[in-house]
Amino acid sequence: MAKRTRPTLAEIREAHARIRPHIHCTPVVTCETLDRMTGCELHFKCENLQKAGAFKSRGACNAVLCLSDAEAAHGVVTHSSGNHAAALARAARIRGIEAHIVMPSNSPDVKVEAVRGYGGRIIFCEPNQPAREATASRVQLETGATMIHPYDDVRIIAGQGTAVIELLEDVPSLDAVMTPVGGGGLLSGTLIAGKGINPALRIVAAEPANADDSFQGWKRGQYVPSESPDTIADGLKTGLGKLTLPIIHELVDDILLAKENAIREALLLILERAKLVIEPSSAVPLAALLTNEHGLAGQRIGIILSGGNIDLRNFRFA
Amino acid sequence: MAKRTRPTLAEIREAHARIRPHIHCTPVVTCETLDRMTGCELHFKCENLQKAGAFKSRGACNAVLCLSDAEAAHGVVTHSSGNHAAALARAARIRGIEAHIVMPSNSPDVKVEAVRGYGGRIIFCEPNQPAREATASRVQLETGATMIHPYDDVRIIAGQGTAVIELLEDVPSLDAVMTPVGGGGLLSGTLIAGKGINPALRIVAAEPANADDSFQGWKRGQYVPSESPDTIADGLKTGLGKLTLPIIHELVDDILLAKENAIREALLLILERAKLVIEPSSAVPLAALLTNEHGLAGQRIGIILSGGNIDLRNFRFA
């Protein structure tokens, strides 16, 4: 499977069966006020309540459980300062193998503690992309560990695609599904699984206007890199990968943009009205719905709330 | 039913069938970190995700749907500045009748807006208990509306008891259930339904140490009024009622106290770790578990998160 370029719906279903004992089948929540404000019927798939606080646990579990025993014996390695790092450390602990996590030396304490809490071995590096990649390669050479990329990996994409399977089991009559897009793992898995189950399902991505590389690339039919994006949605700063870009360009129905103020307001609305703690990335689809001509009025829309890892004590509420 | 002193389990099941189309069957959420911190296996019943943001929607719906058509034609009345007011306004709107809500003139805007949003007719009064009761009585005389007390009402107690029915359907093997206690409606309903379903189920209440009237009264076997309590858990300032006190004194297994600092810390833990927005009252059971000798170590415990109506923009996080 590892050398293929995209998973099939059947493989996403296999991934679901594989990871099910180790993840939450997260609840789907509705909110009358947000329905009224958007003029849609919204169904929030609560991956903020997922293990390790994000959908990333799905892909990481699937990737680690797909390893042969011989591969697994050498552990796994990745470079990430975000949710993938904690999710991979947790997945490795489930399998009883080592996770080597390369993190920038300026990573927030809370993220370092999360990885450590799941038993990950942390290797700090200079806080830039070349140092991250070089350090991860060195660790890979030294240990023989398998590199698990946060999104550009067929096993990861398959795992992330399991969320929409559960969502459609809970609410089969959805007209559309929205996800945020950063590296594109969640969106790619959602596209393959969602349209595989129901070809008429519209799948709409949402992206910060300040990090609109996916939108620009999709409009032009080419790769556009993500260059020094400045957005509160820290999980969405990454650009698309070699595997995720073609899936998205082929299958996505629309990509909507959201400005920073709208993302902030949507975050507060979900906290205050839906009573769910989410990270800023998860607020982008609602922000986009509230501020765009989207052609989804009156429709039944599933929104995947991607994660809940936010530093509330330092969040500027007022 | 209205003149009886407590509902039976069968009546609580009838209430559940009656209100089910109008309320959420709220999800049950777990959190590894909080399990580790308490040494228990915790199952959070998310009434913070309930309609109108609190379990109060259960009792209010049941009470309003129990009215005869002749009674209903004159509407309902209550005095409350809290979750019961919004829940009753919402329940009345479902039945298409008027809700007269007497609120103190100093009620926070957000609470007034909630009642108004559900179409309630608000009558302001001086911010003291005699004025509230006198105004409500006057409105009752003028309109013929039925008074729906926030907790000392058999229909309300029956409605609140439906939450533990759902909780035990989701997690039948619970050893214990915890609820906060203010006026005692939720606790009373939980006691009758929970012990009715499983007589071996331990049911433990939690109360702010700064508003410990229920605990003091239970210890002494008498009524102790709630006098000028000073607690962040604003929903728990009320004393027990004539109906709720005897149920609680007869059936409750323990009442644990929690200090203000512990309630605050538990609130932050549930926000940051369980990713759920709750109001301070809902944090009291976890706070009590974290700071008492409780004899519940290693047990499987359901905790009813009573509500999620908190003013986050003015909450002191740091």
Sign of CA dihedral A139, A141, A143, A144: positive
Q: Quickly list DSSP for A177-188.
A: EEEE-SSSHHHH
Residue A102: count of CB within 10 angstroms of its CB: 25
Question: B249 pLDDT band (50/70/90 cuts)?
Answer: very high
- C-alpha A143/C-alpha A98 separation (Å) is 10
Model confidence at A228, pLDDT cuts 50, 70, 90, reads confident
pLDDT at B268: 96
Residues B201 and B196: their CA atoms lie apart, in Å, by 9
Q: What is the amino acid identity at position A188? A: S
Is A272 in CB contact (< 8 Å) with chain B?
yes
- Where are chain A's structural domains? 9-54+155-305, 57-153
| Residue A127 near residue A106, CB atoms below 8 Å | yes
Smallest Cα–Cα separation from A154: which of A307, A316, A3? Answer: A3
pLDDT digits (tens, 9 = 90+) for B176-191: 999 999 999 999 999 9
Can you give the pLDDT at residue A108?
A: 82
Compute φ and ψ for B96, nearest 5 degrees.
80, 30
Q: Which of A29-43, A152-166, B96-110 has the lowest mean pLDDT?
A: B96-110
pLDDT score at B314: 84
Contacts with A308 from chain B: Cβ below 8 Å: 275
CATH fold for the domain made of B9-54+155-305: Rossmann fold (3.40.50)
pLDDT average, residue stretch B280-300 = 96
Select from 3.40.50.1100, 3.30.1120.10, 1.10.10.10, 3.30.565.10 the CATH code of A57-153. Answer: 3.40.50.1100
Per the CB < 8 Å rule, is A277 touching B278?
Answer: no
- pLDDT number for residue A129: 83
Q: What is the DSSP letter of A209?
A: G
pLDDT at position B318, please? 72
* Cβ-based neighbours of B36, under 8 Å, separated by 6 or more: none
Interhelix angle B185-197/B244-251, rounded to 10 degrees, is 40
Query: At residue A2, does pLDDT exceed 60?
Result: no
CB contact under 8 A, B271 and A312: yes
pLDDT, residue B80, reads: 86
The arithmetic mean of pLDDT across residues A218-227, rounded, is 94
Q: Is the pLDDT of residue B205 over 70?
A: yes
pLDDT band of A219, cuts 50, 70, 90 = very high
- Chain B from 31 to 70: CB within 8 A of any A CB: 32-33, 46, 48-49, 51, 53
Q: Quick check: A1 pLDDT over 70?
A: no
Sign of CA dihedral A184, A190, A191, A193: positive
Same topology, domains A9-54+155-305 and A57-153? Answer is yes
> What contacts A151, CB < 8 A, 6 or more positions away?
A59, A84, A157, A160, A182, A183, A184, A185, A186, A188, A238, A241, A243, A244
Rg (CA), chain B: 18
Tell me the CA distances in angstroms from A92 to A70, A137, A294, B280, one per residue in order.
14, 19, 41, 36
CB-based contacts of B35, cutoff 8 Å, min separation 6: B41, B42
Distance, in Å, from the CA atom of B194 to the CA atom of A28, rounded to the nearest integer, reads: 26
What is the DSSP-derived secondary structure letter of residue A112?
A: H
pLDDT at B111: 85
Catalytic residue status for B107: no
pLDDT at B1 over 70: no
Per-residue HEC secondary structure of chain B comes to CCCCCCCCHHHHHHHHHHHHHHCCCCCEECCHHHHHHHCCEEEEEEHHHCHHHECHHHHHHHHHHHCCHHHHCCCEEEECCCHHHHHHHHHHHHHCCCEEEEEECCCCHHHHHHHHHCCCEEEEECCCHHHHHHHHHHHHHHHCCEECCCCCCHHHHHHHCHHHHHHHHHCCCCCEEEEECCCCHHHHHHHHHHHHHCCCCEEEEEEEHHHCHHHHHHHHCCCCCCCCCCCCCHHHCCCCCCCHHHHHHHHCCEEEEECHHHHHHHHHHHHHCCCECCCHHHHHHHHHHHHCCCCCCCCEEEEEECECCCCHHHCCCC
Question: What single DSSP character describes residue A120?
Answer: P
Q: Confidence band (pLDDT; 50, 70, 90) for B313?
A: confident
pLDDT level of residue A316 (50, 70, 90 thresholds): confident
A62 band by pLDDT with thresholds 50, 70 and 90? very high
Q: Do B312 and A48 touch (CB under 8 A)?
A: no
Sign of torsion over alpha carbons B189, B191, B194, B196: negative
Does residue B157 contact residue B5 with C-beta atoms inside 8 Å? Answer: no
With CB atoms and an 8 Å threshold, state whether A313 touches B48. no
Mean pLDDT, chain A, as a whole number?
Answer: 95
Task: Give the lowest-confidence range in A201-210, B73-82, B85-94, B107-116.
Answer: B107-116
What is the rounded CA–CA span in Å between residue A36 and residue B11?
34
Residue A109 in this model has a pLDDT that exceeds 90: no
Look up the pTM and report it: 0.94
Over residues A297-311, the mean pLDDT reads 96
The pLDDT of residue A318 is above 80? no
- CA–CA separation, A293 and B164 (whole Å): 43
User: A311, A303, A302: which is closest to A282 by C-alpha?
Assistant: A303
- Chain B within 8 Å of A140 (Cβ-Cβ)? no
Residue B86: per-residue pLDDT: 96
* Residues shown for chain B: 318
Q: Cβ contacts (< 8 Å) between B275 and chain A: which residues? A: 48-49, 53, 276-278, 308
Mean pLDDT of B219-244: 93
Q: Write down the catalytic residue from B51, B56, B111, B237.
A: B56
Q: What is the mean pLDDT of residues B238-266?
A: 97
At A106, is the pLDDT very low, low, confident or very high (cuts 50, 70, 90)? confident
For residue B107, the model assigns a pLDDT of: 85
The dihedral formed by the CA atoms of B282, B287, B290 and B295, expressed in degrees to the nearest 10: -70
Nearest-CA distance B112 → chain A (Å): 15
Residue A20 pLDDT > 60, yes or no? Answer: yes
| Residues B67-103 pLDDT 10s | 999 999 999 999 987 899 999 999 999 999 999 999 9
What is the model's pLDDT at position A4? 87
What's the average model confidence in pLDDT over A110-132? 91
pLDDT at B127: 86
Q: Which two tokens stand for residue B37?
A: 């911190």
Residue type, B236: L
Decide if B275 and A24 are in contact by the 8 Å CB cutoff. no
| Tens-digit pLDDT profile for residues B117-175 | 999 999 999 988 889 999 999 999 999 999 999 999 999 999 999 999 999 999 999 99
Residue-level pLDDT at A276: 98
Give me the mean pLDDT over the A236-249 stretch. Answer: 96
Chain mean pLDDT for chain B: 95
Q: How far is B113 from chain A (nearest CA, A)?
A: 12
Q: In chain B, what residues touch A276 (CB-CB under 8 Å)?
A: 49, 275-277
* Residue type at B274 in one-letter notation: A
Sheet of A76-79: strand order equals A121-125, A99-104, A76-79, A146-147
pLDDT at A237 over 70: yes
User: In a 3-state reduction of DSSP, which class is residue A27?
Assistant: coil
Tell me if B29 and A49 make a contact (CB, 8 A cut-off): yes
Mean pLDDT of B21-49: 97
More confident residue, A1 or B111: B111
B275 inside 8 A of chain A by CB: yes
Interchain contact, A315 vs B315, CB within 8 Å:
no
Question: Which of the four pLDDT bands, split at 50, 70 and 90, describes residue B109?
Answer: confident
